[in-house]
Structure 1
Amino acid sequence: MFDAVIIGAGACGLMCAVQAGYLGKKVIILEKNEEPGAKILISGGGRCNYTNLFSTSANFISQNEHFCKSAFSQWTVEDTISFFETYGISGKEKTLGQLFPEGNKAKDIVEVFTQLCEQLGQQILMQSEVKTIDKDADGSFTIQYEQRGKLKTVRSATVVIASGGLPIQKLGATDFGLKVAKKFGLNIINTAPALVPLTVTGKDADWFASLSGNSIFCRVSNDRISFEENILFTHWGLSGPAILQISSYWRPGESIELNLLPKQNILELIEQERKQNGKKTLLNLLSQLYTRKIADALAKYLPTEKNLSSLNKNDLQLIEQQIHYFKVKPAGDKGYDRAEVMRGGVDTNELSSKTLESKKVKGLYFGGECVDVTGWLGGYNFQWAWASGYVIANSLD
């Protein structure tokens, strides 16, 4: 018997094991992969954007926008920073509050947890795939798992589901957490890929493909929210930070709007240039604002061959529309294998916001990505993982 069996050696599960160890509780982590922290290791290009300085509940999507407030009050961004600094990892802000380990790599983040688990006597069993979780008559759980071809069992009064979401299959991602929740009668909020590139098909597909590899700073928006960061044209559509951000708020059939010049007004620039050199073509002006490839491509939509002095009222309206209100109707997204995280998951109404324990099943906890709490791009989802792991550890009986 252990104080808890944790399913998943990702960010939430590892933090939960360490925090439980600080409190003198013995846990065992069952992980199907060959090494712990698979998603940590690839995050941020192998550098791990492990939190965000500006993280608040407003940076998360959930059916209950207030649910994560309790966890974030128990484990703050400052707690995350202090925790890693204690073990030799100091943060360096990149952009927009994104904190990366200065002089360290993602593997150093994982090593903090594996070394602490060893010191605290917490077991991590790799290549251990959980097959069944059953609630026994005495209220405890029996967990059956397969390790290197052999079926084994372990019992515990508490089970922590920290098995992540559906992205990324090649890292061992499955719907295990959702299946467990359904088995025990918990409601699931419909899931979908989030922080994911968007695809463009149809008559405009070739235009986007022709710009593949070009990046531009934009304001990307829909009726609900907007983000100002770079977008990246690809041979299948759009990617880049601003697109990944808006994808979490995008729904199939909707359009998004691109402001291709969010910091300036194109009509004012044209008027200024007219006074200095009215013979300059619109193409030359656009080439000063964008790469030549993008400027040339805009000829499909704009009278780029005209001199600035010869642009009429209709021309100016068209230019303003296409530069500041460029409409795109994505055909879809690139799916879970290209998504950073999953949207939706275990319904927060099924869980205590203070402890993350199931309201229906005593001793069953859910944390991290499998819960209906989805953060923005830039370290927010790690902050939720650390916080939920800490909350669960401190709630164990």
Structure 2
Amino acid sequence: MNYDAVIIGGGACGLMCAVQAGYLGKRTLILEKNAQVGAKILISGGGRCNYTNLHTTPANFVSENPHFIKSALSQWTVDDSVSFFETYGISGQEKTLGQLFPTTNKAKDIVNIFTDLCEQLDQTILLNCDVKFVKQHPNGFEIGYEQHGKSHTIICPKVVMASGGLPIAKMGATDFSLKVAKQFNLEIVKTAPALVPLTITGKEEAFFAGLSGNSIFARVSLPEISFEENILFTHWGLSGPAILQISSYWQPGNQIEIDLLPNQNIISLIEQERSANGKKVLSNYLAAFYTRKFIDAIGEFIPTQKNLASLTKDDFIAIENFIHHFKVKPAGDKGYDKAEVMRGGVSTNELSSKTLESKKIQGLYFGGECVDVTGWLGGFNFQWAWASGFVIAQNI
């Protein structure tokens, strides 16, 4: 079979690339390692698929070159994503902070659009294909893969690396795109788990484990950025949306500051209550904001059993520091199996921002998660996947 391009990886980027190429009359072959395409789409958002974010801007992405993504996001906008899915019967419902989910709440409906379109547009999908190598060839590239125990090769003028990143190995995640990039001497930005829970060890471990299950709306900060969403205490540390967000910026050894009552001042609130009801015990007052389990646990840090009238200046300092400046130094993260995405990847210095083609190797393209472009939690990574797939399709 003659194909205009072989797409390695049938995830969000690869599927969008194949469909958009089909619209242009091009023929592509998707080689997918799993027994079905769209594995990460199917598990995203708890199986509901948060497929874009209405508030997407370049500022919602982590990259060594924050300007790189501007071209792709302008070529394929959020409105384009919304229109594309609406055309094929999926309308979106907005949830927290611009997150858009299908009204059907079924991620498989997103995947079905792509598989149906690939069939209609004569794009070929081969499943259970383990790609072994990509080599340059006089006619472009030679791709070797195994399927059902048999080895195959195919020659094609162009190759699209859309095989994702390292998170969730049990979903078939590999570093194959990075290996191909290294093979062609392309620069790789150091990779790490991102959108990942953080672990606490040592003398603080018991405190966090004791609070397991408590969820609190908070502001989580590093010097360069902060996020306001829920945090979740766990047996091994911290999770929840705000923690996952900050994890994409956190580096080992960094300290994180948490405001456990953002946009309010705990001291002013206590003083107001004290003037009306000085006999009230602090723990009973704090029950308006936190669970009893949490209040009991923080009694070793602040005087929860004192009544409000007897609180001293030092008590107020302790309360303010704990509630508004709770400091944590994570020991590490939960690794790629618990990470939603990978940080780092193929350096944007190696790619044309307009086409996503390698500057060094003509006909070789990289899109989606394997590139050093990492979105925030909440549909941003899907928007990058759709955009990068579209951009590549225009140029293969």
Q: TM-score range by the shorter chain?
A: over 0.9
1:334 aligns with 2:334: yes
Unaligned runs of 5+ in 2: none
Task: State the match for 1:237 in structure 2.
Answer: 237
Query: Is the 2:139–2:156 Cα contact (8 Å) retained in structure 1?
Result: no
Letter paired with 1:225: I
Task: State the match for 1:173 in structure 2.
Answer: 173
Query: Is the 1:193–1:339 Cα contact (8 Å) retained in structure 2?
Result: yes
Query: Is the 1:35–1:126 Cα contact (8 Å) retained in structure 2?
Result: yes
Letter paired with 2:358: S
Counterpart Cα distance in 2 of 1:376 and 1:369: 12
Task: State the match for 1:393 in structure 2.
Answer: 393
Task: State the match for 1:29 in structure 2.
Answer: 30
Q: CA deviation at 1:314?
A: 0.7
Letter paired with 1:244: L
Q: CA deviation at 1:289?
A: 1.0
Task: State the match for 1:93 in structure 2.
Answer: 94
Query: Is the 2:49–2:105 Cα contact (8 Å) retained in structure 1?
Result: no
Task: State the match for 2:210 in structure 1.
Answer: 210
Q: CA deviation at 1:275?
A: 1.0
Trace 1:50-65 onto structure 2 (pairs within 5 A): 50-65=51-66
Trace 1:279-294 onto structure 2 (pairs within 5 A): 279-294=279-294
Task: State the match for 1:131 in structure 2.
Answer: 132
Letter paired with 1:146: E
Letter paired with 2:189: I
Q: CA deviation at 1:263?
A: 2.5
Q: CA deviation at 1:104?
A: 4.0
Trace 1:1-397 onto structure 2 (pairs within 5 A): 1-136=2-137, 138-396=138-396
Counterpart Cα distance in 2 of 1:211 and 1:46: 28
Letter paired with 1:57: P
**Number of residue-to-residue matches in the alignment:** 395
Query: Is the 2:262–2:324 Cα contact (8 Å) retained in structure 1?
Result: yes
Counterpart Cα distance in 1 of 2:56 and 2:139: 37
Q: CA deviation at 1:139?
A: 4.6
Counterpart Cα distance in 1 of 2:288 and 2:178: 51
Query: Is the 1:89–1:104 Cα contact (8 Å) retained in structure 2?
Result: no
Counterpart Cα distance in 2 of 1:300 and 1:362: 63
Counterpart Cα distance in 1 of 2:48 and 2:319: 41
Q: CA deviation at 1:295?
A: 1.0
Counterpart Cα distance in 2 of 1:388 and 1:176: 18
Q: CA deviation at 1:300?
A: 1.5
Query: Normalised by the size of structure 2, how large is the TM-score?
Result: 0.99
Letter paired with 1:245: Q
Query: Is the 1:128–1:146 Cα contact (8 Å) retained in structure 2?
Result: yes
Counterpart Cα distance in 2 of 1:229 and 1:217: 5
Letter paired with 1:189: V
Query: Normalised by the size of structure 1, how large is the TM-score?
Result: 0.99
Give 3-state SS (helix, strand or coil) of 1:284's partner. Answer: helix
Aligned residues with identical type, % of pairs: 72
Counterpart Cα distance in 2 of 1:225 and 1:236: 24
Letter paired with 2:89: G
Counterpart Cα distance in 1 of 2:301 and 2:340: 33
Query: Is the 2:194–2:343 Cα contact (8 Å) retained in structure 1?
Result: yes
Counterpart Cα distance in 2 of 1:33 and 1:43: 16
Letter paired with 1:257: E
Give 3-state SS (helix, strand or coil) of 1:219's partner. Answer: strand
Counterpart Cα distance in 2 of 1:140 and 1:320: 64
Letter paired with 1:371: V
Letter paired with 2:87: T
Give 3-state SS (helix, strand or coil) of 2:344's partner. Answer: strand
Q: Deviations over 1:61-118 (max 9, x none)?
A: 0000000000000000000000000000000001000000012410000000000000
Counterpart Cα distance in 2 of 1:133 and 1:321: 56
Q: CA deviation at 1:155?
A: 1.1
Counterpart Cα distance in 2 of 1:383 and 1:311: 51
Query: Is the 2:145–2:151 Cα contact (8 Å) retained in structure 1?
Result: yes
Q: CA deviation at 1:286?
A: 1.1
Q: CA deviation at 1:236?
A: 0.2
Give 3-state SS (helix, strand or coil) of 2:117's partner. Answer: helix
Counterpart Cα distance in 2 of 1:87 and 1:188: 37
RMSD: 0.6
Counterpart Cα distance in 2 of 1:264 and 1:15: 45
Counterpart Cα distance in 2 of 1:377 and 1:43: 11
